Amino acid sequence: MDIASKNLKKLQTEKSFVDIFTDLFNESFYGFIRQFNDHFLLLEHYNDDGLFNGIVVFKREDITRIKWANNDLTSVYKIINKHDQEKNIESLKIDSIEAILKSVNKAFKHVNLHIQNIDNGMCIIGEIEEMDAESIVIKEFGTRSTLDRGRILFAMEDITRIDAGGLYENGLLKVHKKKN
């Protein structure tokens, strides 16, 4: 087993609170490693205030650094909140991009797909309408101000990160449900 996988397994088994960096996209994420394989890593995500902020699935090739056991992480860990998403997180499959998308959409009733190689801040939040190995169609949840429900088609290979169940996404879902 390589050093990276050995340490990921240790961090997962010991339930260590970590900080994952994707320097290409200038991002950092706190949380617990819940699953990983050669291609993907699933993080139970918490924000800087220790609030549960859903899940993040990374392509392992985009992860540049992982920190653990420092003062900053220890401080945030002490204020972590409880959440009720354990069953949803356990049900997620990370065998392939298609399995991730299907299981996340089923568990959380939405996906937040990041397209960072095209635009670092680009993400699409919505429900999967259809997909195959090359393409995906999403019925978008527009912003809170527009509440637009348009559809968008794009290439699966452009997806750089998959999130769901976060504070923003859940707020957006509530606003959209009130509209209906």
Model confidence pLDDT, tens digit, residues 86-126: 999 999 999 999 999 999 999 999 999 999 988 888 899 99
**Position 154 pLDDT exceeds 70:** yes
* Residue showing tokens 């999967």: 128
Amino acid found at 94: I
Full set of structural domains in the chain with CATH: 3-179 (2.30.30.600)
Instruction: Tell me the β-bridge partners of 135.
Output: 155
> What does the pLDDT average to over 3-27?
96
- Contacts of 5-13 with C-beta under 8 Å, sequence gap 24+, read 5/36, 5/38, 7/66, 8/33, 8/36, 8/41, 8/66, 9/36, 11/66, 11/68, 12/36
**Banded model confidence at residue 144, pLDDT cuts 50, 70, 90:** low
